[in-house]
Copies of this chain bind each other. A is one copy, B any other.
Amino acid sequence: MRQPEPEPQSFDRVLSSMCTEPHPAARAAAERFLATNPGDPATYEAVAELEARAVEGLATLAEHPTPADATGYVTSGGTEANIQAVRSARNRHGESDDTSGERDVNVVAPASAHFSFTKAAALLDVELRTVPVDDEYRADPDAVAAAVDDGTALVVAVAGSTEHGRVDPIPELAAIADEAGARVHVDAAWGGFVLPFTDRDWSFADAPVDTVTIDPHKFGQAPVPAGGLLAREDAALDALAVDTPYLESRSQATLTGTRSGAGVAGAVAAMDALWPDGYREAAERAADNADWLAAELADRGYDVVDPELPLVVAAVPESEFAALRDAGWKASRTGTGALRVVCMPHVTRATLRAFLDDLDGIRR
């Protein structure tokens, strides 16, 4: 089956990804820990120690009340973290931890929530109640309040939505959830390494949030796979544990079994190198680039969604979008077909100038 090896893509023209080039220190650490498995901590002790440091680092970013004792783990990515948050809330709702199938549980999420919640609901056999967003693409608290009931195990809030980079009104949503006896999950998979440098309310300190998704392999500049799940209380993860014969550890709360030590070591190295000043600079640069691109696109007459976090959406016609793809730009579209540019750290001002030059050429 030997065939010529393809080259990995360059990031030069990647505007569509929520991942980025890993920090050099993170890449080096990932390479060193490539042959380790934090899912088997009794065998792979060093990487298990690193995972505790990764969780403490993430908990620091997310303003957990006690970062050194925070409960959580490095997931395969945001999807696993979101699935696990739904699963934990399902299992804890009415304290029916069993699998008797007698549950009638729902999860309320804004239409802006990532499709991993659809996946989670299909997987976990819970009802997903998707409620409309407001004119600014944020969860509408009135719609959420109207959707929750006694069966609501979880209210999902988004801190940096995939399509528009929006932050939901999290304290308001948390108050609604509290009233309904539901738990609150914040999906900050993409936003989590940018939000600490904004005035937005999203963290454990800002609202009575139960669980948070925050991914080192997005704005954290760690290599894939390094997602993150954090919980305010140990009980949130305890509700996920299954017994583990054959391992010298007693139980496992993760969704996957064998896990990547490269991701864990890379996440720690990235946070060591970049928290907080490196992340602050990256967040500010990305925000400047997004604001600049939005203004340039608006100047050209496109209908632009004003960026809140570093993500620009503009109503570029399908024919122009197709021509940009043909020119090698890895851009993507929202559900309504609008151009979507994610201003990750690898997306420089020079990249965006070249992109606009190509767009101008296409429009001529």
CB atoms of B14 and A76 under 8 A apart: no
CB atoms of A256 and B76 under 8 A apart: yes
Contacts of A20 in B (CB 8 A): 35
CB atoms of A262 and B262 under 8 A apart: yes
CB atoms of A53 and B123 under 8 A apart: no
With A42-B330, A79-B256 known as contacts, the answer to whether A57 contacts B1 (CB < 8 A) is yes
CB atoms of A223 and B257 under 8 A apart: no
CB atoms of B223 and A262 under 8 A apart: yes
Contacts of A31 in B (CB 8 A): 31, 34
CB atoms of A78 and B11 under 8 A apart: no
Q: Is the interface of A mostly helix, strand, loop or mixed?
A: loop
Q: Does A197 contact B (CB under 8 A)?
A: no
A68 and chain B: residue at smallest CB distance? B1
Q: Does A177 contact B (CB under 8 A)?
A: no
Contacts of A247 in B (CB 8 A): 332
Bits for A267-290, please: 1 = Cβ < 8 Å to B, else 0: 001011001000000000000000
Contacts of A223 in B (CB 8 A): 34-35, 262
CB atoms of B262 and A224 under 8 A apart: yes
Q: Which of B40, B125, B333 contacts A99 (CB 8 A)?
A: B125
A256–B243 CA distance with the chains assembled, in angstroms: 22
Q: Does A9 contact B (CB under 8 A)?
A: yes
Bits for A118-136, please: 1 = Cβ < 8 Å to B, else 0: 1101111111000000000
CB atoms of B217 and A258 under 8 A apart: yes
- How many residues of A sit at the interface, in one of the four size bands? 35 or more
Q: Does A260 contact B (CB under 8 A)?
A: yes
CB-contacts of A23-56 with B (<8 A): 27, 29-37, 39-40, 42-47, 49-50, 53, 56
Contacts of A330 in B (CB 8 A): 42-43
Contacts of A114 in B (CB 8 A): 257
CB atoms of B27 and A8 under 8 A apart: no
Contacts of A340 in B (CB 8 A): 246
**Closest Cβ of chain B: how far from A102's Cβ, in Å?**
10
Contacts of A334 in B (CB 8 A): 245-246
3 tightest Cβ-Cβ pairs between the two chains A and B: A79-B257, A6-B46, A77-B258
